Structure 1
Amino acid sequence: MEDFLRACQGAVLDNEAKTLAAKMGVAHVSLLQRANPDNDAHRLTVEHLYGILLHTGDMRPLIALANEFGFDLVAKKAPKPQELTRSMIGVGKEFADLTIAVHEALQDGRVCQFDKSTIRREISHIRESLAVMDESVKVA
């Protein structure tokens, strides 16, 4: 917990606390007091933490929190958007591939490990193509 609280304080102090406080709609002194892990009288709220992350882009608090629970924080890379019709065709193709994989797996009346891995691979392809479509819609 100590690392997380220190990371919150560092994010506030290293990102122009006065400007940050104004963006968050809180008093500068109040933000400094709340971010100070040595001040037992004041604590950051979830809303404050969200504001710090949003307005600074400083992910140290989130990284420290993830580390506390044994996780790594990894930024997602947005896929490259495509023309909307093209991305829709990609989604349709991936759904068709999944349909074929499921039908082939069910032909002999049982689904073996190979069939499961093939189906799961096709599902991941659908997720990827939906992510491309999501980005495509954002720029359309």
Structure 2
Amino acid sequence: MDDFLRACQNAVLDNEAKVLAAKMGVAHVSLLQRANPDNDAHHLTVEHLFGVLLHTGDMRPLRALAEQFGFDLVAKDSPKPQVLTTSLINVSKEVADLTIAVHDALADNHVNAFEKNMIRQEINHVRQSLDVMEASVKAA
């Protein structure tokens, strides 16, 4: 817990606390007090932490929290948006490929390990194409 609290404090201190406080709509001194893990009278709220993450882009607090629970924080690569019709065509193609993989696997009424891997691979392709579709809709 101490690593997480120190990471929160460092995120505030290393990112121009006065400017950050103004962006968050809180008093500079109040933010410093709340971010100080040695101050038992004040604590950062979830809303404050969200503001720190949002306005600084400093993910040390999240990284420390993830590590505390045995996880790694890895940034997600955002897919590049496409024209909506192109994106829709790609989603349709990937769903068709998945359908064919499942159909082929079921042809002999037994799905072997190789066929399961092929189906999983096609599912992953569908997910990726849906991510591109979502980015495309957001960009439209």
Aligned position for 1:65: 65
| 2:84 aligned residue | 84
- Aligned residue for 1:81, secondary structure, equals coil
* Superposition deviation, residue 119 in structure 1: 0.8
Tell me, in whole angstroms, the C-alpha distance in 2 between the residues paired with 1:9 and 1:115: 51
Unpaired runs of at least 5, structure 1: none
What amino acid is aligned across from residue 37 of structure 2 in structure 1?
P
1:30 is displaced (CA, Å) by 1.1
> When the two structures are aligned, how many residues end up with a matched partner?
140
Q: Hey, what's the Cα distance between the residues in 2 that align with 1:72 and 1:114?
A: 30
* Secondary structure of the corresponding residue to residue 15 of structure 1: coil
Greater CA deviation, 19-28 or 48-57? 19-28
What is the CA distance between 1:12 and its match in structure 2? Answer: 0.5
What is the match of residue 14 of structure 1? 14
Counterpart of 1:52, as a letter, is: V
SS at match of 2:91: helix
**How much does 1:71 deviate?**
1.3
Aligned-CA RMSD value: 0.9
Please give the per-residue CA displacement for 1:78-124, whole angstroms capped at 9, x wherever unaligned.
Answer: 11221111111000000000111111111111211111111110000
Where does residue 128 of structure 1 map in the other structure? 128
Instruction: Supply the distance in 2 between the matched residues of 1:79 and 1:54 (Cα, whole angstroms).
Output: 21
Task: State the distance in 2 between where 1:80 and 1:33 align.
Answer: 41
Give the TM-score, by structure 1 length. Answer: 0.96
Instruction: State the 1:61 CA deviation.
Output: 0.5
CA–CA separation in structure 2 for the residues paired with 1:86 and 1:24: 40
Alignment of 1:1-140 (within 5 A): 1-140=1-140
Supply the distance in 2 between the matched residues of 1:49 and 1:33 (Cα, whole angstroms). 13
Alignment identity in percent?
76
Q: Distance in 2 between matches of 1:81 and 1:50?
A: 27
TM-score by length of 2: 0.96
Unaligned runs of 5+ in 2: none
Q: Secondary structure at the match of 2:119?
A: helix
